[in-house]
């Protein structure tokens, strides 16, 4: 089997995330670059990878259920009137070139290909790691999608096709299994944030905390699960999203990754670094 190609992101003198930019995965998981493992500064892993319940959950990655009828999420595709079914429509994301590559920052260009290898979208992606304090660091993520075909980009989710609450798609983070506590600027618990926009969202596990920050407060609701598994997504395709010809889709997010509870000082510093 060909060698997987990866790059280690470092912060405060230690590796905190492995970015696999050329994976070797089955087509049914919609192969794409991913971050795993991502760890706290203390070494606790805060991502889950290809768990038995959802083999297409690849740590932290950028994925959408359907883009111009191609599945870039993995697993089944939701079809209105039929439910979630297996289709031979899985796309993949392919690395094109590096614009920057260093220990704490990456800037990459990718193509989103359909099942036949035709480019549907071009992407510019940036990842960077920033020290916040002795127990927390910040991952910054930015991506821009543009059409590769001269046609509009149409992003879909099961929610947009009629499955209530299933609006996932965008930057998705699969957290490790266990007990989790969810809170956000809109309140505590899943019901206070799932399907709603919020300035920040926090997931607290055993010995670690993730605080998600986004610029898309007015447009992108959060998709949150923590009953059967723990997953968080700033959901670009909660409703059908059309990027017109000549237009682009850009999102910028940050994730504070802390050992133990995230302090108020760390949260404030993270918000300042995110701006």
* Residue burial 182-217, b: 16+ Cβ < 10 Å; e: rest: bbbebeeeeebbbbebbebbbbbbeebbbbbbbbbe
Segment 236-264 mean pLDDT: 96
The pTM (predicted TM-score) of the whole model is 0.96
Q: Is the pLDDT of residue 24 over 60?
A: yes
Distance CA 186, CA 201 (A): 9
- The dihedral region occupied by 78, where left means phi > 0, alpha psi between -120 and 50, and beta the remainder, is beta
Residues 75, 82, 224, 42: what is their CA dihedral angle, to the nearest 10 degrees?
-10
Distance CA 68, CA 242 (A): 10
pLDDT score for 216: 60
Peptide bond into 90 cis (omega under 30): no
Distance CA 43, CA 84 (A): 37
Alpha helix (H) residue ranges in 99-230: none
pLDDT score for 217: 55
* Structural contact between residues 34 and 61, judged by C-beta atoms closer than 8 angstroms: yes
Window from 206-210, 214-218, 244-248, 263-267 with minimum mean pLDDT: 214-218
Band of the pLDDT at 215, cuts 50, 70, 90?
A: confident
Question: What are the strands of the beta sheet with 153-156, ordered from one edge?
Answer: 66-67, 153-156, 241-243
* Structural contact between residues 153 and 41, judged by C-beta atoms closer than 8 angstroms: no
pLDDT score for 167: 93
pLDDT score for 53: 92
Side-chain-side CA neighbours of residue 229 (13 Å): 19
Alpha helix (H) residue ranges in the chain: 264-274
Alpha helix (H) residue ranges in 160-229: none
Q: State the average pLDDT for the chain.
A: 95
Segment 73-84 mean pLDDT: 93
Q: Is the pLDDT of residue 218 over 80?
A: no
In sequence order, the β-bridge partners of residue 63 are: 170
In this predicted model, what pLDDT tens digit does every residue of 115-168 receive, in sequence order? 999 999 999 999 999 999 999 999 999 999 999 999 999 999 999 998 998 999
């Amino acid at each position: 089997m060909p060698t997987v190609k990866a790059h280690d992101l470092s912060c405060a003198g230690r590796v905190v995330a492995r970015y696999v930019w050329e994976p070797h995965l089955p087509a049914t998981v919609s192969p794409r670059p991913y971050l795993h493992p991502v760890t706290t500064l203390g070494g606790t892993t805060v991502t889950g990878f290809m768990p038995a319940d959802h083999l297409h959950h690849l740590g932290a990655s950028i994925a959408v259920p359907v883009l111009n009828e191609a599945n870039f999420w993995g697993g089944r595709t939701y079809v209105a009137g039929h439910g979630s079914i297996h289709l031979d429509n899985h796309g993949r994301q392919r690395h094109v070139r590096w614009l920057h590559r260093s220990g704490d920052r990456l800037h990459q260009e990718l193509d989103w290909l359909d099942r036949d290898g035709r480019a549907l979208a071009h992407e510019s992606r940036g990842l960077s790691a920033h020290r916040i304090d002795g127990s927390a660091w910040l991952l910054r993520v930015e991506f821009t999608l543009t059409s590769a075909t001269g046609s509009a980009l149409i992003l879909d989710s099961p929610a947009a096709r009629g499955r209530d609450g299933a609006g996932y798609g965008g930057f998705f983070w699969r957290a490790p299994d266990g007990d989790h506590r969810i809170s956000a600027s809109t309140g505590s618990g899943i019901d206070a944030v799932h399907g709603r926009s919020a300035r920040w969202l926090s997931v607290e596990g055993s010995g670690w905390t993730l605080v998600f920050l986004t610029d898309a407060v007015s447009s992108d609701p959060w998709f949150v699960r923590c009953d059967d598994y723990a997953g968080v997504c700033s959901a670009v395709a909660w409703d059908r999203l059309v990027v017109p010809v000549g237009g682009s889709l850009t999102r910028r997010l940050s994730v504070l990754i802390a050992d133990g509870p995230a302090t108020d000082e760390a949260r404030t510093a993270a918000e300042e670094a995110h701006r």
